[in-house]
Structure 1
Amino acid sequence: MRKTLALLSLMGIALINPLWSAVAQVPNLPLPVPTAPDILLPPIPTTPQIPPLEPVALGSCTPQYACLGWDEQILGQRGKAGDRKALLASIDNSLRYLAKKEAIAAYQNYPIKEITLDRVRRSLLRFRQLVVSSKSTAQLQAAVRREFVFYKSVGNDGKGTVKFTAYYEPVYTASRVKTSAYKYPLYRLPPDFNQWAKPHPKRIDLEGKDGLLGNKSQLRGLEMLWFRDRLDAYMVHIQGSAQIKLTNGTKTSIGYAGGTDYPWTSIGKELAKDGKLPLEGLTLPRLITYFQRQPQELNNYLPRWERFVFFQETAGRPATGSIHVPVTAERSIATDKSLMPPGALALIYNSFPYPTSVGKLERRTVSRFVLDQDTGSAIKGPGRVDYFMGSGKLAGDRAGITGGNGSLYYLLLRQ
């Protein structure tokens, strides 16, 4: 479960060229301005707003055609093989969640009375039927306009502005035993964690300034994996899960098991505050390059995020969201689950980096149907969305430079 956000090997991230072109592929539409991902920036301060969503008429969404139900990646020529299959799988994951007792509890006190578990479930079932039966994008769009109501997030400004970031599931190499090379541990959840007194110990108390507190740590004996690079282990804390290549040639995976009770701290913003890097244009690749060139700075900055994360082995299972179903690459999002309807069908509008035929990344403004299946400690308020990019190198490359302000809509059947 991704609590810290929500997931390329470190080498893959470091190879990102920060000068990649950002070319929009949708003409005559205002492009969202790219901003740093959530590892770099703290949650946007917001004043609690009730309701977090408001129904909108289709005409009020122009020029953002997102609200009309466009998603050329499902049925159009710009789609890729398996994209519709991935959407259907993500819908099925949400339907499984909505059949559980935890979903019933989550919707009992949802702040918008007309958004009920039954309506969300029926909306998913009908939308799934339309995706399967529609012969063209236009046919699907027409059916969505006819049968669904759009609820727009009020955003972080009350006007619908939503900040987007992306996360991914990294792939790292680790050892089951400590060696001279593999010496930075990840820890299991302490069996008595629920009895820990608050305030909890801080990161520096649990792993030391250099991450090597070892036998002096109260976590001694709970080590589950050892990493060669401290930043690798830290990135797993950030992303909340990882696929692992073990040094003995086998593979496994790890996922979130719990975390100490401290808020998100932006390491990127801390560096900028100290004048080490400019905040404007600061991306994850630039941040990692900085630490690779000055590894001693890890000891100064990583402890500033006081929260500490514990993991469990998941035996190769895919990354799992906060509603306890797998998250699907480019079809799952993370939002503030105290405000947004868990498992629901949504439509996002933003620009994202896409690979080109020459091996670069360029930005393209798109609308995509997604399922709301995750959350994160940096994802607070109605104006935040974290977009799951998938696993591995390319997913991390893309997630590292994703940002911008866009829009978020939820789709529900007309009552």
Structure 2
Amino acid sequence: MRGMTASFVALALAAVGFTGCQREHVVAEPDYNRQLNSGHALRKLDPSQWPSLATAWGARDGYLDQALDQSISWFQKPSSQQFFPFHEVSTHEQAAGSVVAFKEFLKSSSTEQEFLGRMQQMFDCWQTVGYNDQGTVLFTGYYAPEFKASLTPDSTFRFPLYRRPTDCVTDPVTGEPKGRLQADGTVAPWPNRAEIQSSGMLRGLELVYLPSEFDVYIIQVNGSAKLTLQDGSTMYVGYAGKTDGQYVGLGQTLLDEKILTERDLNLPNVREWCDKNPDRAMEFINRNNCFVFFTKYDGSNWPAGSLGVKVTERTTLATDKKIYPRGGFLLVDTKSINFANQQVPFNRFMCDQDTGGAIVAPGRADIFMGVGASAEILAGAQYAEGTMYYFFLKPEYASQYPLPPVAKKGAPASGE
């Protein structure tokens, strides 16, 4: 859902800076967005350096099973092969077989010890280098929002989402924005957000109308939404492309301008401030020159991530796909927030199935928290350091775990 660099985006509110967590006694701000000079973001661990898998084994649930099935369905697509081999880490056969084997181990292992033994025998473990080359990652959160909307403008619904214009140029493989096609065939940078909005260059491309500019902005940041229309029907919109302008988070701007403190920085407070200060809010929103376009789709796969598969609550992770491998499973070890606003351990197996406009470094990752208002609360408060570990079958075991055959349309699913 978050693929601002791929097919569909949903960028975390916390990734925009919406967080209710306070960090005290900070001497220097960590540079979570520090870029790699080259290569990928993983370091192979010696078996003696493996993390404990016991807590994640105990936390396995139906969400994990669903997410693994979604990854398997992605690996079954021939288009997935173009992203492998992923450096020296994994071939396509290894990556796909890893998910198949892991799913089988979860199902067939009768004890934790049996599961751990099979994992250590057949898998290699790769830890992120993080932002500091010591494995530290900032984990934020995102969700799939729901809004009221109208297909026609009126006094309430005045702020449009736009379809993708024909002159929007993106890389055909990665979806990375390249710019705007000119009459002479060259590609030039897009104008800034304010000029795009005021010039009328998108007139006629209105897809649907929202009640506020802030709602439009949140949908642009998340990259998808479930919309309830005036007649009670439901419409799903998803990412269709974006301009090549720089992304600047509204939350970070409010911090920089000293309008809100980190203690007060959460989505309700940001929304309240924007409602009370619409002109300044628009000024700050316009600092984000990454402008997202949308398309309507049937919603059967909603909410979907950048891999084109449905994302799963608390089990789909979004990372920078230039430096992290697609589709595989991993262990995330961090903290999360519960509905009592208490920080609790978060140690789960997840699947890397998404990406996002602000998730562009080895020190950033986004946890999908779910759909709707409850998930919005958790996503907006998610802001914690941690680390993560990817697991891939050793080459000699990859051929033992082939992908299952693709089910034909209309055929019953496996096990039915």
Residues 132 and 331 (structure 1), Cα distance of their counterparts in 2 relative to 1, 3 Å cut: same
How many Å apart are 1:345 and its aligned residue? 1.1
2:12–2:222 CA contact under 8 A, matched in 1: no
Alpha-carbon offset, residue 340 of structure 1: 0.8
**Deviation of the 1:51 alpha carbon:** 4.2
Do structure 1's residue 198 and structure 2's residue 188 form an aligned pair? yes
Distance 1:135 1:350 in 2: 27
1:200-257 C-alpha deviation (Å, 9 max, x unpaired): 122111213xxxxxxx511111111111111111100000111111111111211100
Matched-pair contact (CA < 8 Å) for 1:8–1:392: no
Residue of structure 1 equivalent to 2:118: 143
Identity %: 29
Q: Separation in 2 of the partners of 1:139 and 1:406?
A: 27
TM-score scaled to structure 2, two decimals?
0.81
Partner of residue 91, structure 1: 68
* Alpha-carbon separation, structure 2, partners of 1:406 and 1:127: 23
Q: Which of 381, 385, 392 lines up with 2:361 in the alignment? A: 381
Shift in CA distance, 95/18, structure 1 to aligned 2, threshold 3 Å: closer
Aligned equivalents of 2:227, 2:196: Cα separation in 1:
23
Give the distance between the partners of 2:2 and 2:36, measured in 1 at CA. 25
Q: Which whole-Å CA distance do the structure 2 matches of 1:7 and 1:287 have between them?
A: 16
**Could you say which residue in structure 2 is the equivalent of 1:334?**
318
Q: Tell me if the contact between 1:173 and 1:246 (Cα under 8 Å) persists in the aligned partners.
A: yes
Q: Which runs of 5+ in 2 are unaligned?
A: 25-29, 170-180, 396-416
Q: 2:241 matched to 1:261?
A: no
Distance in 2 between residues matched to 1:167 and 1:46, nearest whole Å: 22
In the aligned structure 1, how far is the partner of 2:31 from the partner of 2:43? 26
What SS does structure 1 have at the residue aligned with 2:49?
Answer: helix
Tell me how far apart the structure 1 counterparts of residues 222 and 342 of structure 2 sit (CA, whole Å): 24
- Between 1:261-270 and 1:344-353, the stretch displaced more is 261-270
Matched, 1:133 2:133: no
Matched-pair contact (CA < 8 Å) for 1:43–1:378 = no
Aligned counterpart for 2:327 among listed residues 338, 343, 354: 343
Structure-1 separation of matches of 2:271 and 2:390: 35
4+ runs deviating over 4 angstroms = 16-19, 136-139
Q: In the alignment, does 2:389 pair up with 1:406?
A: no
AA aligned to 1:174 is A
Distance 1:337 1:283 in 2: 28
Quote the offset at 1:362 in angstroms: 2.2
Q: Name the structure 2 match of 1:29.
A: none
Which region of structure 1 is more displaced relative to structure 2, 135-144 or 240-249? Answer: 135-144
Q: 2 CA distance for matches of 1:52 and 1:182?
A: 44
- The answer to whether the Cα contact below 8 Å between 1:346 and 1:370 also exists between their aligned partners in 2 is yes
SS in 1 for 2:248: coil
Q: Which residue of 2 aligns with 1:185?
A: 160
Residue 303 of structure 1: how far off its partner (Å)? 0.4
Contact 1:42 1:264 in 2 (8 A): no
Which of 188, 213, 232 is the aligned partner of 1:249?
232
SS in 2 for 1:102: helix
| 1:91 Cα deviation after fit | 1.2
Count residues in correspondence.
366
Distance 1:308 1:251 in 2: 24
Q: What residue number does 1:50 align with?
A: 39
In structure 2, what is the Cα distance between the partners aligned to 1:119 and 1:322?
Answer: 21
Equivalent position amino acid for 2:299 in 1: G
Shift of 1:99: 2.4
How far off is 1:120 after superposition? Answer: 0.8
Match of 2:3 in 1: 3
Tell whether the 8 Å contact from 1:189 to 1:312 is kept in structure 2 after alignment: yes
Paired residues of 1:162 and 1:383 also in contact (CA < 8 A): yes
What corresponds to 1:295 in structure 2? 278
CA RMSD of aligned residues (A): 2.7
**Counterpart in 2 of 1:37?**
none
Instruction: Report deviation, 1:114.
Output: 4.0
